[in-house]
Amino acid sequence: MVSPEQPAVRATVDQVTEAAVELARTSSLAACTFFGVSAVLRLTVAELRRVVPTDDELIALVLKGIAGRTLEGMPEPDSEDVASWRHWPLMFLGNVRAVLLAHGGTARPMYARIKSGGDPGPQLVNRLAAACTHGGLAPGWARVAAVDVLTEAVRLIAAEDSRRPTYGEVEHVDGARRYGEVLRTAIDLFGAATPVADAPLYR
């Protein structure tokens, strides 16, 4: 069994984390952060897939190694500043979804089960939310992050199936608008509750 602590795995995570951290810290717009960090992470997906054999390990690796460390050292968001408040979940989710959704073993079976009438939503949401919470997000945001990842997987795989461009291939997209659309779709799919505007992002 390949361990996330093995040198090859850790080196890959360290490399992509540092690139993501630097990019996130120098980006001032939520949409730029979302797409920029996602692009950096996508470049290392093949290597992560090679050294991390299972979905659970990949999820733990990404959430604890990349997402947690990207948030480390950044200023606390001002809950009274709506623009600032909306920026942080976009950045966090951009980190997480880029790797999880490019890893076919996570997205495709989940999409197939939904498409065939199965309902993996509650189980997957709970598993991802637990990992997000362990990575440092407040419980309410952890659930939003988990639902968002699953919903985005549905959207991306559906786009692939119909041969439409995925979000990562679209040059100009309003990140905040997309985030709202994803959450609304997540509510429809999984019945998740959105956090109130003053809910803390960090535990």
**In the prediction, which pLDDT does 140 show?**
58
**In the prediction, which pLDDT does 125 show?**
56
**In the prediction, which pLDDT does 155 show?**
55
Q: Is the pLDDT of residue 7 over 60?
A: yes
- Given a contact cutoff of 8 angstroms between Cβ atoms, the answer to whether 155 and 101 are in contact is no
Q: Is the pLDDT of residue 12 over 50?
A: yes
**In the prediction, which pLDDT does 91 show?**
45
- The full 3-state SS of 103-158, as one line of letters, equals CHHHHHHHHHHHHCCCCCHHHHHHHHHHHHHHCCECHHHHHHHHHHHHHHHHHHHH
| pLDDT grade for 109, boundaries at 50, 70 and 90 | low
Q: Is the pLDDT of residue 9 over 50?
A: yes
For 64, 115, 135, 186, the CA distances from 92, given in Å and listed in that order, are 12, 27, 11, 17
Percent of the chain with pLDDT over 70: 0
| pLDDT grade for 17, boundaries at 50, 70 and 90 | low
Structure pTM?
A: 0.33
pLDDT in tens, 118-165: 444 455 556 556 655 555 555 655 555 555 555 555 555 445 444 444
69 or 127: whose pLDDT is higher? 127
Question: Half-sphere exposure of 169 toward its Cβ, with a 13 Å CA cutoff?
Answer: 7
**In the prediction, which pLDDT does 130 show?**
62
